[in-house]
Amino acid sequence: MAASMDIQMDQLPSDPLLHILSFLSFRDLINCSFVSRRLNDLSKHNPLWKSLCSKHWLLTEKERLQSGESWFSLFKQYYKDLGRYIQYYPVLKKAWEQLKSFLQQRCPRMIASLKEGATEVELNDIEAQIGCRLPEDYRCSYRIHNGQKLVIPGLMGSMSLSNHYRSEVLLDVETAAGGFQQRKGMRRCLPLTFCFHTGLSQYMALEPAEGRRMFESFYPCPDQTSQDPSSVDMFITGSCFLEWFTTYVHNVVSGEFPIIRDQIFRYVHDKSCVATTGDITVSVSTCFLPELSSAHPPHFFFTYRIRIEMSSSALPEAACQLDSRYWKITTSDGNVEEVQGPGVVGEFPVMTPGKVHEYASCTTFSTPSEYMEGHYTFHRLANKEEVFQVAIPRFHMVCPPFRQVVPSKASTSFTPRIDNRHDDYDDDSGDFCGDGDDFGDLRGINMAALEGAWCPRHI
């Protein structure tokens, strides 16, 4: 009779089993713990949970040593507190850490304005107060930092012109709840930001009411052509809180938004929007100002920031002075306008090797998109008869997607963003069974959820 070739689990060496277990998600690792006592013991192996703690909670060895806990215990502690946010937490926590690290070096006074995270009880109380559920990604972010104190400059960016200033504070959840809207045209909308100077806020729709999509963020703008005072146009800034916040953070930490006088300015620079003529390089960044714009009637306000730089390797005799500007403006409906005049914003900058001259100007259009291009005329300081032109690259100005909200009527839209909702958390409270009692704090995991103003034209 042939000897049995069956191999028992207890006879297998630990190293290959641990290697296999290292590829499992924490959910599958927990499920494996109920297969046998051997796998139950191996599934608590500390290095397995070190990688899971790093992946889901961004914990470091230093933090583990400070806690005095094992990696397995740390995972259970964090899951007990933040488990409902596990699909959002690492993304939002990383964004917050990147933002704080950047601000510490470039805008340190903003760090002091950040508030500690809200508690679950506080967030639950806010939901009861406003009678609406807060989205899970919003709650998760506010567990990390409960917005900022009401100070200037605001964390969510600034914009400044000669006669206009805006700086948006990221509201704490209590202040936001105080501004929760129930009025017709803005029902079930929670403010995310606030500017003291303009009264401007970005809002988030907590329910799909009055033509808005659930959880999308927007700037409201009264429809001045409607006889209904509750008719509101909305410039859409995000499809959900996670997208809205992480996109902004990326623009800050990547250097997309310039830092001017210790403030984040929300100019956007297209990397292709650079032109070099001889020793002089011109680049342009732009910004749409919703507080000075309207969709009905169509009036779209943009500001642009131009940087003129002479190469440091240019010869001294290349020094020159700007005399005039020429613009060719093309709107999305095909209309073309040409503008020319002396200097730039009343100045005639002199360019020498290595010098940089920057200025901001603004323009308005009656179409939602347009582009500008042109050139500057310079003369050499050493020879005023030597006149030459420097190209200004074509730069596009496109307002955010907007939608008209007319209560009790069908809404019209212009290139609205696709709704990208996240699944709501729903505790299925199904207990694990078996002899893996050490996993008790992780019982009830929901597997499905876990996966988952005025301004002159063309100055």
CA atoms of 308 and 241, how far apart (whole Å): 37
All residues at 6 or more sequence positions from 11 whose CB lies less than 8 Å from its CB, including other chains: none
Find out whether the peptide bond into 298 is cis, omega within 30 degrees of 0.
no
pLDDT of residue 7: 55
Contact 257, 266 (CB under 8 A): yes
Contact 310, 349 (CB under 8 A): no
CA atoms of 359 and 388, how far apart (whole Å): 21
Contact 396, 369 (CB under 8 A): yes
Q: Which two tokens stand for residue 69?
A: 């806990």
pLDDT of residue 175: 97
Residue 303 has a CB neighbour count (10 Å cut-off) of 23
pLDDT of residue 452: 29
Contact 125, 139 (CB under 8 A): no
Contact 263, 158 (CB under 8 A): yes
pLDDT of residue 166: 94
pLDDT of residue 434: 35
CA atoms of 400 and 266, how far apart (whole Å): 14
DSSP 24: S
Domains and CATH numbers, the chain: 13-80+427-444 (1.20.1280), 89-252+402-414 (3.40.1580.10), 265-398 (2.60.40.1470)
pLDDT of residue 407: 64
Kindly report the average pLDDT of the chain as a whole number.
Answer: 86
Residues 39-98 pLDDT 10s: 888 888 989 999 999 999 999 999 999 999 999 999 999 999 999 999 999 999 999 999
Question: Digits of tens for pLDDT over the chain (459 positions)?
Answer: 444 545 566 677 888 888 888 899 999 998 888 888 888 888 889 899 999 999 999 999 999 999 999 999 999 999 999 999 999 999 999 999 999 999 999 999 899 999 999 999 999 999 999 999 999 999 999 999 999 999 889 999 999 988 899 999 999 999 999 999 999 999 999 999 999 999 999 999 999 988 899 999 999 998 888 888 888 999 999 999 999 999 999 999 999 999 998 999 999 988 889 999 999 999 999 999 999 999 999 999 999 999 999 999 999 999 999 999 999 999 998 899 999 999 999 999 999 999 999 999 999 999 999 999 999 999 999 999 999 999 999 999 999 999 887 665 444 433 333 233 333 333 333 332 333 445 444 434 332 322 323 333 445
Find out whether the peptide bond into 153 is cis, omega within 30 degrees of 0.
yes
Contact 326, 338 (CB under 8 A): yes
pLDDT of residue 404: 80
pLDDT of residue 313: 96
CA atoms of 119 and 326, how far apart (whole Å): 57
pTM (predicted TM-score): 0.83
User: Would you put residue 229 in left (φ > 0), alpha (ψ -120 to 50) or beta?
Assistant: alpha
pLDDT of residue 234: 94
Burial of 268: CB neighbours in 10 Å, binned 0-12, 13-18, 19+: middle
274: β partners: 283
